[in-house]
Structure 1
Amino acid sequence: MDPMQEQIKTLFTEGIQTQIAAADQLQEPLQRAAELLVATLLSGQKIYCCGEGMAHATSRHFAHIMLTGLSFERPPFPVTSLHADFGANDHQAVFAQQLQAVGQANDVVLVLSAGARAPRTARALEAALGRNMLIVAITQEGDHDIAGLLGPDDVEIRIPTTNIARASEHLLQTVNMLCSLVEHQIFPQEMDE
């Protein structure tokens, strides 16, 4: 087999293996996260999201589909992706400053990280904790910055890989799944159609 074709096959195999492991390990945390997001929305609270590095685009995607709908037409959910202002005086605190300005007790912050280090999102979590916010964290097995900040009422969805590319793929899948689960819990009648 051609060396590049072998590499392509290996990449597909890695993706499939991560999918299988995730299907086995992530059902319970996905359910807990969806239940927390539903309870937050039904109680009139807001959801904020942010992502470290490449995961910031996935954060923006999550906010977009929660506002506009994923599976069917529905009213928008109050979800905001925190902006990554690279011109900020303190770039590491950009997410934390936004949560300090707008976060309220019992709001939720969803943080995403595909890598081992997440200094901006870790500071956002510290700000969220200071405002008595709840946390849903989507991380990967090599995470060093986020898991240690989570409390008993928070939820971690830990993607079973240390490969940044596989984790990035699963971040997108996971936020799509969360949106779908939330939509169908809040609008169960849409499941029949």
Structure 2
Amino acid sequence: MEQIVSEALINAVKAQEAFVNESRKTLIDLACQMVKTLRQGGKILIFGNGGSAADAQHMAAEFVNRFLINRRPMAAIALTTDTSTITSIGNDFSFDEIFAKQVQALGKPEDLALGISTSGGSVNVIRAIEAAKTIGMRTAALTGGVTGDGGEVGRLADLTLNVPAVKTQHIQEVHLFAEHLLCELVEREIFGEV
């Protein structure tokens, strides 16, 4: 068990370092795009499956409520929370459409869509990114994998933050790290220092 713990720590730190080294500029670009979106009266629509669904909810809560600063709410919606909408779309159409239909209903050109997919291949995230692009929204993705392009999700998005790791847990850990960094960068840029 001691060895497992030590190796897990080493691999988690390596994944974060590799991500920051490869994605620092894109991370800052995405934070700037989020700031621009919010300042222009737009909102951030966030979506993903499983652990990425939880990340979408977590991130939206940080924007709407607070991260480090007590300040006015910022507009963000997790498309993973409305079970009636999700299950009706899944039942009447397809699980592949659960985010795309919400983007079509709620998205405006001044908004930003952020899809989270550990594999970069989640069909419902791909369809939502495509729907957002059709509306004229800016799109971004948090993905993973050593190929570096973030799969289909990463190739479709305007900005892609890809975690260059193989193990799902390390990709998800870095996603949370990136989400917190984005929240802090956006909050500080709009509202100043803590």
Calculate the TM-score normalised by the size of structure 2.
0.89
Aligned to 1:148: 155
1:45 to 42, 46, 71: 42
Counterpart for residue 81 of structure 1: 78
Gaps of 5+ in 1: none
Given the alignment of the two structures, is residue 22 of structure 1 paired with residue 19 of structure 2, yes or no?
Answer: yes
Could you tell me how far 1:78 is from its partner in structure 2?
0.8
Match of 1:91 among 88, 95, 120: 95
| Match status 1:170 vs 2:177 | no
Q: In terms of mean alpha carbon deviation, does 116-125 or 164-173 score higher?
A: 116-125
- 1:130-166 alpha-carbon deviations (Å, 9 max, x no partner): 111111111112532202213xxx2111112121110
Gaps spanning 5+ residues in structure 2: where? none
Whole-angstrom CA distance in 2 between matches of 1:108 and 1:63: 13
* 1:162-184 Cα deviation digits (max 9, x unpaired): 21110111111111110100000
- The aligned length equals 184
In the alignment, the residues of structure 2 paired with residue 60 and residue 187 of structure 1 have an alpha-carbon distance, to the nearest angstrom, of 22
Q: Distance in 2 between matches of 1:127 and 1:116?
A: 17
The amino acid that maps onto 2:184 is: S
Comparing 85-94 with 102-111, greater Cα deviation is found at 85-94
CA distance in 2, matches of 1:173, 1:148: 22
- Equivalents in 1 of 2:171, 2:96: separation in Å? 22
Alpha-carbon shift at residue 106 of structure 1 (Å): 2.6
Q: Distance in 2 between matches of 1:77 and 1:47?
A: 9
SS state at 1:157 partner: strand
Q: Report the equivalent of 1:107.
A: 111
Tell me, yes or no, if the aligned pair for 2:41 and 2:110 is still in contact at 8 Å: no
1:77 aligns to what SS in structure 2?
A: coil
Partner letter of residue 40 of structure 2? S
User: 1:47–1:110: 8 Å Cα contact kept in structure 2?
Assistant: yes
